[in-house]
């Protein structure tokens, strides 16, 4: 993920709901796991394109807390792909100055997967050229509950004054602490919902829904979404300057 030209309207943070792997595979009479494997190639495409287009922060929704309801063989395949992605791409990402972070609940993950997550984060912790966050075992409501629980514990032991709790203080307890909120949230596959993704952080994000299945996602699709973003006016509750 290399730095590139400044993107339109200075989009610092793009978040993507990667949807459509299963349908992509089904259209080709292949098992869903085949679609997930092709989806990893699209991840690489998105990371490279984001860097070339000047997007400093990229967050990808990889596995949700609700995905545990899927068949166990599909869940196992998704976990295996996470391991393979880190093994295959970590050193390249590190050489290119990418800081890798995994957002989501760690509880319930296997020891070997936790070790891979920790290796990825520790290996790239000092990098600051680009920031890649993978939301894995992540749910927006779960994140808020975990943050509220930790905040309540810190209040109870006197670590933080209740009167000092504001939006900034609460944000410091989220998985995305230290990151700017997403300017743009993209969802592929034509579905028009955010599915419990970054529900605090994306309160004022622009939403773009693309009618493309994730394995077919290209740099041109990212540029299309950035162009759509540039055509909109962000008022944050205010009014147009005109």
- Spatial distance between the Cα atoms of 161 and 180, rounded to a whole number of angstroms: 25
* Catalytic entry in 67, 142, 196, 216: 67
Residue 170 and residue 97 in contact, taking contact as beta carbons nearer than 8 Å: no
Query: CB 100: neighbour CB atoms within 10 A?
Result: 24
Nearest to 134 by CA among 10, 15, 30, 235: 15
Q: Is 227 a catalytic residue?
A: no
Place of tokens 């993107």: 7
Find the helix or strand (DSSP H, E) in which 198 lies.
none
- Spatial distance between the Cα atoms of 242 and 240, rounded to a whole number of angstroms: 5
Nearest to 40 by CA among 21, 25, 58, 55: 21
Which pair of structure tokens corresponds to residue 73?
A: 């063989």
Find the helix or strand (DSSP H, E) in which 151 lies.
helix 140-156
Which pair of structure tokens corresponds to residue 200?
A: 């605090």
Nearest to 15 by CA among 200, 172, 146, 141: 200
**Per DSSP, what are the bridge partners of residue 57?**
13, 131
Catalytically active residues are 19, 67
């Amino acid at each position: 993920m290399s730095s590139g030209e400044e993107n339109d309207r200075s989009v610092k943070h793009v978040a993507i709901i990667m949807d459509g792997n299963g349908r992509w595979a089904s259209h080709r009479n292949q098992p869903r796991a085949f679609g997930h494997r092709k989806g990893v190639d699209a991840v690489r495409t998105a990371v490279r394109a984001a860097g070339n287009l000047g997007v400093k922060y990229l967050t990808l929704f990889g596995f949700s807390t609700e995905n545990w309801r899927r068949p166990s063989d599909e869940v196992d395949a998704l976990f295996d792909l996470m391991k393979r992605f880190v093994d295959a791409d970590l050193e390249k990402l590190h050489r290119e100055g990418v800081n890798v972070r995994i957002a989501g609940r760690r509880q319930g993950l296997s020891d070997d997967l936790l070790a891979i997550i920790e290796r990825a984060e520790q290996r790239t912790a000092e990098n600051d050229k680009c920031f890649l966050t993978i939301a894995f075992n992540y749910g927006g409501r779960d994140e808020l509950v975990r943050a509220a629980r930790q905040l309540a514990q810190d209040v109870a032991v006197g670590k933080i004054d209740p009167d000092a709790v504001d939006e900034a203080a609460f944000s410091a307890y989220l998985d995305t602490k230290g990151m700017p909120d997403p300017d743009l949230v993209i969802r592929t596959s034509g579905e028009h919902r955010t599915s419990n993704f970054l529900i605090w952080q994306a309160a004022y994000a622009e939403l773009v829904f693309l009618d493309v299945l994730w394995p077919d996602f290209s740099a041109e699709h990212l540029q299309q979404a950035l162009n759509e973003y540039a055509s909109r006016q962000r008022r944050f509750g205010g009014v147009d300057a005109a």
